[in-house]
């Protein structure tokens, strides 16, 4: 039963929702360690260039597709390119939604456990060896991480079930300001630690010799993941944007907010890491091993640790709802199911994959190929294969398949906005973005590999 499609209520609501999607574990959990592993400031510099030069145009392209078609990703390609193979690109997005949510809810569950541990004062030992063994025995234990993962999935489904305006928009408008507030507090705490300056230096003083092909490709992949582009999340959100809102300025604001949060997360984490004399290349466990160790030695540590894990959980939640919404919009519009049924089916089936992903960390060692367990495989394939592939389809579609006039009409709200940079935008999505994305993609499938 297709009733009238819901829309976001206000421009601020659109920005909160899209920024909520973009700002997530990618900014706070992934960005700091990827930056740490790839030269800190050198990585940041390349990252910024990619966000502005490629990320913003790709995001705008997703908004254009979504708002023009007024539909979920599969339906959108069907409407804009009838009787073609393009809806396949939408299915790549639906697949990506499954893979991303499966491993993402696993990590989101860990944040709830760590929030709980902090509140209950439950760390066995605060030294590195103790925290490392506590973390690895927790994530491989099975029922416990599964329990937290399911709690997280239920929260996500609850908000999505409430709908676009009364669920997604409403919660983002509350949670995003809270997230910013918490982050600022953490940055202040970190910068006022003795010897914090070294961390600032690490993040902002680029060593150009560190920039190589690997750094470039890592930065592009990270920018896609962080901006939520390449799988139709922003096609879906774009389809709920009011016809009067300015798509370009929305894409720009969302990208600025996302990047600001990544930089602030770096400023919360690196100065503290350096202040305690730890090397920043701690990998994915930076947040679950290094930080608890630091908090345990810091004045007021427990308070800051609590708000840190609340921050992480909020960031994750506003992202998971945006990914679940893609599948829910698809099921309700293409298969004509009710929102309640769609949410149940989507959350239920994704949970199965999610649980396998959690169990692959320990109890089900068979779920692995060549040393990578299901979790690693899903994380790697989504960021390095599905998102670049989806992003490539999106820019080619908007750049070469849609009529230029249609694209410009959507960007300028049928001519009522100037759209000053539209020629530059066209050049980027026709030529620059496809080539850049293809490089990442070829790297991801190993044709062009740098071996990492």
Comparing C-alpha atoms, which of 396, 407, 425, 392 is closest to residue 68?
Answer: 407
Paired tokens of 38: 């790839």
Confirm or reject binding of residue 167 to ligand TRP (CB under 6 A): no
CB of 386 to ligand TRP, least distance (A): 9
Angstrom CA distances, 36 to 40, 219, 281, 376, stand at 5, 12, 5, 19
Residue ranges in 351-390 that form contacts with ligand TRP under rule CB under 6 A: 387
228 binds ligand TRP (CB under 6 A): yes
Fill in the per-residue mask, 34 to 53: x = in contact with ligand TRP (CB under 6 A), - = not in contact.
--------------------
The tokens describing 98, both together, are: 């499954």
Q: Give the shortest CB-349-to-ligand TRP separation in angstroms.
A: 18
Which CB, 59 or 275, lies closer to ligand TRP?
59
For residues 168 and 146, give the distance between their C-alpha atoms in angstroms, rounded to a whole number: 25
**Shortest Å distance, C-beta 230 to ligand TRP:** 6
C-alpha 143/C-alpha 147 separation (Å) is 6
Q: Long-range CB contacts (< 8 A, 24+ apart) of 111-114?
A: 111/309, 111/312, 111/313, 111/316, 112/148, 112/151, 112/152, 112/309, 112/313, 113/138, 113/144, 113/145, 113/148, 114/288, 114/292, 114/309
Under 8 Å CB-to-CB from 138, ≥6 apart: which residues? 110, 113, 144, 145
Site membership for ligand TRP, residue 17 (CB under 6 A): no
401, HSE (Cβ side, Cα atoms, 13 Å): 19
* Residue 93 in contact with ligand TRP, rule: CB under 6 A: no
Cβ distance to ligand TRP smaller for residue 25 or 42: 25
Looking at residues 298 to 327 of the shown chain, list those that interact with ligand TRP (rule: CB under 6 A): 319, 322-323
> Based on the number of CB atoms within 10 Å of its own CB, is 130 exposed (0-12), middle (13-18) or buried (19 or more)?
middle
Q: Which of residues 56-85 bind ligand TRP (CB under 6 A)?
A: none
According to CB under 6 A, which one of 24, 292, 388, 391 is a site residue for ligand TRP? 24
Among the residue ranges 23-31, 56-64, 340-348, 371-379, the one whose residues contact ligand TRP (CB under 6 A): 23-31
Residues in contact with ligand TRP, counted by CB under 6 A, come to a total of 17
CA angle 205, 206, 208 (to 5 degrees): 155
Q: Would you count residue 14 as binding ligand TRP (CB under 6 A)?
A: no
* C-beta separation of 34 from 365 below 8 A: no
DSSP 11: H
Q: Which residue of 233, 250, 358, 443 would you call a contact of ligand TRP, by CB under 6 A?
A: 233
Q: Does residue 27 touch ligand TRP according to CB under 6 A? A: yes
**Inter-helix orientation angle 56-69/387-396, to 10°:** 70
Contacting range for ligand TRP; rule: CB under 6 A; set: 21-29, 117-125, 404-412, 428-436: 21-29
Which of 7, 16, 19, 21 is close enough to bind ligand TRP by CB under 6 A? 21
Options 54, 56, 100, 314; binder of ligand TRP; rule CB under 6 A: 100
172 binds ligand TRP (CB under 6 A): no
Q: Which is nearer to ligand TRP, 27 or 373 (CB)?
A: 27
Minimum CB distance to ligand TRP, residue 13 (Å): 17
N- to C-terminal Cα separation, the chain: 48
Which residues 198-227 are close enough to bind ligand TRP by CB under 6 A? Answer: 225-226
How far is 92 from 375, CA to CA, in rounded Å?
Answer: 19
Footprint on this chain of ligand TRP (rule: CB under 6 A): 21-22, 24-27, 100, 225-226, 228, 230-231, 233, 319, 322-323, 387
């Amino acid at each position: 039963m297709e009733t009238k499609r819901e829309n976001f209520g206000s421009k601020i609501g659109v920005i909160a929702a899209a920024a909520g999607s973009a700002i997530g574990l990618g900014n706070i959990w992934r960005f700091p360690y990827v930056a740490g592993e790839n030269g800190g400031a050198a990585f940041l510099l390349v990252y910024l260039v990619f966000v502005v030069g490629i990320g913003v145009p790709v995001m705008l392209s997703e908004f254009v597709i979504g708002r023009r078609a007024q539909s979920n990703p599969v339906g959108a390609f069907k409407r804009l390119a009838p009787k073609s193979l393009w809806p396949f690109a939408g299915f790549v997005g639906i697949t990506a939604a499954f893979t991303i949510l499966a491993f993402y809810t696993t990590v989101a569950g860990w944040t709830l456990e760590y929030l709980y541990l902090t509140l209950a004062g439950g760390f066995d030992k605060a030294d590195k060896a103790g925290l490392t063994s506590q973390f690895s025995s927790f994530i491989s234990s099975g029922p416990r991480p599964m329990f937290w993962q399911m709690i997280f999935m239920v929260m996500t489904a609850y908000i999505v079930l409430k709908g676009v305006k009364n669920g997604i928009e409403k919660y983002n408008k509350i949670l995003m300001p809270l997230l910013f507030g918490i982050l600022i507090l953490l940055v202040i705490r970190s910068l006022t630690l003795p010897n914090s300056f070294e961390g600032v230096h690490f993040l902002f003083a680029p060593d150009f010799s560190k920039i190589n092909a690997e750094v470039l490709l890592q930065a592009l992949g990270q920018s896609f993941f962080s901006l939520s582009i390449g799988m139709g999340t922003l096609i879906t959100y774009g389809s709920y944007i009011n016809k009067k809102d300015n798509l370009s300025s929305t894409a720009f604001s969302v990208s600025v907010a996302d990047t600001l949060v990544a930089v602030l997360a770096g400023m919360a984490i690196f100065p503290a890491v350096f202040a305690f004399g730890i090397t920043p290349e701690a990998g994915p466990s930076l947040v679950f091993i290094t930080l608890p160790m630091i908090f345990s030695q810091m004045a007021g540590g427990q308070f800051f640790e609590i708000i840190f894990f609340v921050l992480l959980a909020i960031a994750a939640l506003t992202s998971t709802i945006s990914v679940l919404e893609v599948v829910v919009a698809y099921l309700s519009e293409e298969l004509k199911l009710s929102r309640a049924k769609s949410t149940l089916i989507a959350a239920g089936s994704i949970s199965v994959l999610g649980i396998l992903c959690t169990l692959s960390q320990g109890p089900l060692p068979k779920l692995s190929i060549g040393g990578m367990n299901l979790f690693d495989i899903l994380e790697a394939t989504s960021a390095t294969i599905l998102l670049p592939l989806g992003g490539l389809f999106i820019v080619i579609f908007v750049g070469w398949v849609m009529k230029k006039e249609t694209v410009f009409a959507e960007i300028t709200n049928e001519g009522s906005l100037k759209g000053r940079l539209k020629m530059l935008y066209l050049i980027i999505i026709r030529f620059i973005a496809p080539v850049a994305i293809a490089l990442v993609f070829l790297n991801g499938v190993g044709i062009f590999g740098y071996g990492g």
